[in-house]
């Protein structure tokens, strides 16, 4: 019974930690700040420590993808830190660049116990087929331009706050 | 440490609970915070990236060019408001606006409008031109292609007002004091094949003001129009569809001839400035400058073009005020391929999107019509600049031009940033300074 209580307590703490990490992440990149200007230059941060989490989307794997269902995409997650990462959460979003087009697809995965400097490979099975037209959706004539590009956005995060992101843009 | 079977079962359950809880937390927290790439309402709010990431290595329009928007979506028809602090544009077929230098998009029309262009009105509302599928009846496209004109109020995009659905062309007066449109007044060809096409100018001053239609007819179909920088006249590209007998030509007889007409408000009538040879097609709206009317048109003799292996199909022409005869503008150089033009607020300069020759990259040039000198404003490196005549506009102060471009690549590009922070990956808006230009510029000017 004591074990069960401890387990539930541990799970709760993990949930809260994960939630906090994502809230922090969202606050870093997702606050609608109307007063912030669009900067003119690209400020770099020389001398900053290397990333604790490194995400890799190898080009050759992306090029093997076909615009259809049941596509497999392997994503590499490298632990750049000196300590083991107990858990790394990954989110993959597949969408068209057309903001009126429905059919954005979300995928999630986790990988555990990634040793320092180790690379873990996580495989997603994704659907890259065009979304079926939804008669009830607000889709205008702009929805079917052949020049529209597809996007795969992958985010990796840890409960400790480390994160990495890659966006692959696929031309038709 | 050893566990009994029961304890191990409990532990397994706890582990499962832990995993499910983690996943639920992941999903629950991710979705509402915007970590997702695009939600259903993503078109309404796109946030500012915390750092400037946009044009990545290998994609550039040159130094001094400033990115005005980020993120996915096909953007077009940018227009800066008279005070120069906001820009309206079309995003995937609907109108949006935003502060010039921040990323707070405000939707101005419904997403299924099929909007093609938006012009500012004095009260902050937008005159939005949209081409809907209704132009096709039972699979047969009606000719000419007509648009609908709407007024979108500043606050409530659901309260859009429809003005007319037989619009041939629209254009804004200097300083966005009004928007002019050409309304096709003759009945559709199917109803009255003998009657030639006629149009009338319409002026729109704001959301609350009723549009005024001038009663004088313009003979022909107005394919595009612009307003002279002093606001005293309209410059019209008019497609005449009459044959030698004066009745409407059939589609088998071709698309008819183009004329450049000028509608002077003081006189209340349109007069022909120049009649183009048959087969010569005007691209976009002719522009009134201090040195006559400039326009982009296809070269007259396509057969000769092909014979000479000259793939230059569109070129820049000018009609001097006193001659009425179009002449090729030589100061842009032999072989220059023009795509779109826009006259500066002072009427002395012409922004030209084009290529030095067919093998050169597309760049933005500025032709000083008073000195007949051409300066290059961008140094295109692997960017695809939109060449639709609507996708080019001056800032009201005449110091910059806004255009639309994206990185030109095939296959796959991988970025280290979220999609909403990328600029070169998608069509986005760029401010190009155009003061003190020299004849050539660093980079791939060609």
Enumerate the domain spans of chain B. Answer: 109-275
pLDDT tens for each residue of B2-45: 434 444 444 445 555 454 454 444 444 444 333 333 333 333 44
Pair of tokens at residue B74 = 């096909």
Q: What is the pLDDT of residue B24?
A: 47
ipTM, two decimals: 0.76
Q: Are B14 and A4 in contact (CB under 8 A)?
A: yes
Q: What is the pLDDT of residue B182?
A: 94
Angle A95-B39-A108 (CA atoms, 0-180°, nearest 5)?
A: 65
Contacts of A101 in chain B (CB under 8 A): 92
Which three-class secondary structure state does DSSP give residue A28? helix
| A13, A96, A140: best to mutate for the B interface, most B CBs within 10 A | A140
A 96-115 → B contacts, CB under 8 A: 96-102, 104, 106, 108, 110
The whole-number average pLDDT for the span B100-128 is 92
Q: What are the backbone dihedrals phi and psi of residue A8, each rounded to the nearest 5 degrees, phi first? A: -65, -40
Q: Are B381 and B59 in contact (CB under 8 A)?
A: yes
A34 and B101: CB-CB below 8 Å?
no
Which three-class secondary structure state does DSSP give residue A148? coil
User: What's the pLDDT band for B80 if we cut at 50, 70, 90?
Assistant: very high
Q: What are the backbone dihedrals phi and psi of residue A61, each rounded to the nearest 5 degrees, phi first? A: -70, -35
Mind telling me how many Å the CA of A47 is from chain B's nearest CA? 17
Nearest CB partner across the interface for A140, out of B35, B47, B93: B93
Q: Are B434 and B363 in contact (CB under 8 A)?
A: no
> Which residue spans within B187-256 are E strands per DSSP?
198-204, 212-213, 218-219, 221-227, 233-240
**pLDDT mean across residues, chain A:** 76
Q: Which residues contact B32 (CB under 8 A, 6 or more apart)?
A: none
Q: What is the pLDDT of residue B167?
A: 92
* Interchain contact B2–A (C-beta under 8 A): no
Q: Which residue of B has its CA nearest to A109?
A: B23
A89 and B26: CB-CB below 8 Å?
yes
Mind telling me how many Å the CA of B417 is from chain A's nearest CA? 6
Q: Which residues contact B1 (CB under 8 A, 6 or more apart)?
A: none
* A90-104, A122-136, B383-397: segment of lowest average pLDDT: A122-136
Q: What is the pLDDT of residue B440?
A: 52
pLDDT tens for each residue of A121-143: 999 999 998 776 655 544 444 45
- Chain center to CA of B44: 21
The whole-number average pLDDT for the span B215-220 is 87
* Interchain contact B7–A (C-beta under 8 A): yes
A7 and B66: CB-CB below 8 Å?
no
CA distance A109 to A113: 14
Q: Max CA-CA distance within chain B?
A: 104
Of the candidates B354, B288, B348, the one whose C-alpha atom is nearest the C-alpha of residue B316 is: B354
Cα torsion A136, A137, A139, A145: sign: negative
pLDDT tens for each residue of B133-170: 544 444 444 456 789 999 999 988 888 999 998 999 99
Nearest CB partner across the interface for B37, out of A95, A140, A141: A95
Mind telling me how many Å the CA of B100 is from chain A's nearest CA? 9
The number of residues making up chain B comes to 446
Q: What is the pLDDT of residue B30?
A: 41
Answer whether residue A83 shows pLDDT above 80. yes
A28 or A98, higher pLDDT: A98
Q: Which residue of B has its CA nearest to A45?
A: B51
Mind telling me how many Å the CA of A54 is from chain B's nearest CA? 10
CA distance A126 to A106: 9
Q: What is the pLDDT of residue A117?
A: 93
CA distance B255 to B232: 30
* Strand ranges across the sheet with A163-170: A105-114, A85-96, A150-157, A163-170, B412-415
* Interchain contact B27–A (C-beta under 8 A): yes
* B105-109, B252-256, B279-283: segment of lowest average pLDDT: B252-256
CA distance A142 to A116: 48
A91 and B35: CB-CB below 8 Å?
yes
Answer whether residue B269 shows pLDDT above 80. yes
| A167, A168, A170, A171: best to mutate for the B interface, most B CBs within 10 A | A167
pLDDT tens for each residue of B398-444: 999 999 999 998 889 999 999 999 999 999 999 999 998 876 544 45
- Percent of chain B past pLDDT 90, that is, above it, reads 56
What's the DSSP call for residue B266? T
Which three-class secondary structure state does DSSP give residue A16? helix
B29 and A18: CB-CB below 8 Å?
yes
Q: What are the backbone dihedrals phi and psi of residue B391, each rounded to the nearest 5 degrees, phi first? A: -90, 30
Q: What is the pLDDT of residue A52?
A: 85
Q: What is the pLDDT of residue B131?
A: 84
* Interchain contact A116–B (C-beta under 8 A): no
B29 and A104: CB-CB below 8 Å?
no
Q: What is the pLDDT of residue B308?
A: 54
pLDDT tens for each residue of A10-67: 566 555 555 544 443 343 333 333 334 565 544 444 445 567 899 999 999 999 999 8
- Percent of chain B past pLDDT 70, that is, above it, reads 74
| A59, A142, A148, A157: best to mutate for the B interface, most B CBs within 10 A | A142
* Interchain contact B125–A (C-beta under 8 A): no
Contacts of B45 in chain A (CB under 8 A): 32
* Interchain contact A18–B (C-beta under 8 A): yes
The whole-number average pLDDT for the span B377-406 is 96
CA distance A163 to B175: 47
Mind telling me how many Å the CA of B190 is from chain A's nearest CA? 25
**pTM, entire model:** 0.80
CA distance B376 to B445: 7
Domains with residue ranges and CATH for chain A = 51-130+146-170 (2.60.40.10)
For residue A107, count CB atoms less than 10 angstroms from its CB and return exposed for 0-12, middle for 13-18, buried for 19 or more: middle
Which of A5-14, B60-69, B236-245, B255-264 is the most confident on average?
Answer: B60-69
CA distance A136 to A16: 38
* A34-38, B196-200, B203-207: segment of lowest average pLDDT: A34-38
In order of A145, B205, B291, B338, B349, the CA distances from B346 in angstroms are 37, 22, 12, 22, 7
Q: Which residues contact B166 (CB under 8 A, 6 or more apart)?
A: B146, B183, B184, B185
Q: What are the backbone dihedrals phi and psi of residue B251, each rounded to the nearest 5 degrees, phi first? A: -65, -25
Of the candidates B303, B385, B292, B380, the one whose C-alpha atom is nearest the C-alpha of residue B338 is: B385
**pLDDT mean across residues, chain B:** 81
pLDDT tens for each residue of B296-350: 999 765 555 555 555 558 999 999 878 888 999 999 998 899 999 999 999 999 9
Give the bridge partners for B145, in sequence order.
Answer: none
* Interchain contact B376–A (C-beta under 8 A): no
Q: What is the DSSP string of B22-51?
A: HHHHHHHHHHHHT-SS--TTTTT--PPPSS
Q: What is the pLDDT of residue B374?
A: 95
Instruction: Tokens 């003061």: give the residue.
Output: B435
B 277-306 → A contacts, CB under 8 A: none
* A131-135, A158-162, B178-182: segment of lowest average pLDDT: A131-135
CA distance B124 to A48: 46
- Chain center to CA of B415: 28
* B50-64, B225-239, B260-274, B394-408: segment of lowest average pLDDT: B50-64
Answer whether residue A76 shows pLDDT above 90. yes
């Amino acid at each position: 019974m004591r074990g069960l209580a401890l387990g539930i307590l541990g799970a709760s703490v993990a949930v809260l930690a994960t939630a906090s990490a994502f809230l922090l992440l969202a606050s870093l990149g997702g606050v609608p700040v109307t007063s912030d200007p669009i900067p003119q230059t690209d400020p770099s941060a020389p001398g900053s420590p290397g990333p604790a989490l490194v995400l890799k989307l190898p080009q050759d794997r992306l090029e093997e993808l076909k615009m259809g269902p049941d596509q497999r995409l392997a994503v590499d997650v490298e632990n750049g830190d000196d300590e083991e990462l107990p858990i790394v959460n990954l989110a993959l979003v597949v969408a068209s660049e057309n903001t009126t087009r429905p059919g954005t697809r979300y995928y999630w995965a986790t990988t555990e116990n990634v040793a320092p400097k180790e690379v873990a490979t996580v495989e997603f099975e994704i659907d890259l087929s065009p979304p079926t037209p939804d008669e009830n959706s607000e889709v205008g004539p702009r929805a079917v331009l052949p020049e529209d590009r597809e996007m795969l956005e992958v985010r990796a995060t840890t409960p400790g706050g480390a994160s990495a992101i890659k966006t692959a843009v696929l031309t038709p | 440490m050893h566990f009994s079977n029961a304890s191990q079962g409990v532990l397994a359950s706890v582990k499962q609970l832990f995993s499910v809880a983690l996943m639920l937390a992941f999903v629950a927290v991710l979705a509402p915070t915007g970590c997702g790439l695009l939600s259903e309402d993503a078109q309404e709010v796109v946030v500012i990236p915390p750092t400037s990431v946009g044009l990545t290595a290998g994609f550039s329009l040159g130094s001094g060019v400033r990115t005005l928007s980020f993120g996915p979506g096909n953007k077009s028809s940018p227009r800066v408001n008279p005070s120069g602090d906001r820009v309206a544009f079309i995003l995937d077929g609907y109108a949006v606006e935003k502060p010039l230098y921040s990323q707070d998009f405000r939707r101005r029309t419904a997403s299924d409008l099929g909007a093609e262009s938006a012009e500012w009105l004095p009260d902050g509302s937008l005159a939005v031109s949209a081409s809907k599928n209704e132009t096709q009846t039972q699979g047969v496209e009606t000719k000419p292609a007509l648009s609908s004109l709407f007024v979108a109020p500043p606050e409530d995009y659901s309260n859009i007002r429809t003005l007319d659905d037989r619009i041939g062309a629209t254009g804004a007066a200097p300083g966005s004091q009004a928007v002019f449109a050409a309304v096709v007044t003759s009945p559709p060809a199917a109803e009255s094949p003998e009657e030639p096409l006629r149009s009338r100018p319409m002026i729109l001053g704001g959301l609350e003001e009723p549009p005024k239609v001038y009663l004088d007819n313009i003979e022909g179909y107005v394919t595009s129009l612009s307003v002279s920088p002093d606001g005293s006249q309209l410059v019209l590209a008019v497609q005449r569809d009459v044959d030698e007998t004066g009745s409407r030509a059939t589609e088998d007889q071709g698309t008819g001839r183009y004329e450049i007409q000028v509608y002077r408000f003081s006189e209340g009538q349109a007069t022909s400035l120049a009649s183009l040879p048959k087969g010569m097609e005007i691209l976009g709206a002719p522009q009134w400058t201090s040195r006559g009317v400039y326009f982009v048109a296809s070269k007259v003799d396509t057969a000769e073009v092909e014979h000479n292996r000259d793939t230059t199909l569109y070129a820049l022409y000018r009609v001097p005020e006193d001659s009425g005869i179009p002449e090729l503008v030589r100061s842009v150089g032999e072989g220059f391929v023009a795509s779109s033009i826009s006259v500066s607020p002072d009427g002395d300069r012409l922004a030209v999107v084009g290529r030095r020759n067919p093998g050169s990259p597309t760049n933005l040039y500025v032709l000083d019509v008073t000195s007949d000198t051409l300066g290059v404003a961008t140094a295109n490196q692997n960017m695809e600049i939109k060449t639709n005549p609507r996708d080019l506009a001056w800032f009201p102060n005449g110091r910059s031009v806004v255009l639309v471009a994206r990185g030109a690549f095939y296959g796959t590009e991988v970025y280290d940033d979220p999609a909403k922070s990328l600029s070169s990956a998608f069509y986005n808006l760029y401010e190009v300074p155009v003061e003190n230009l020299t004849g050539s510029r660093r980079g791939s000017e060609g």
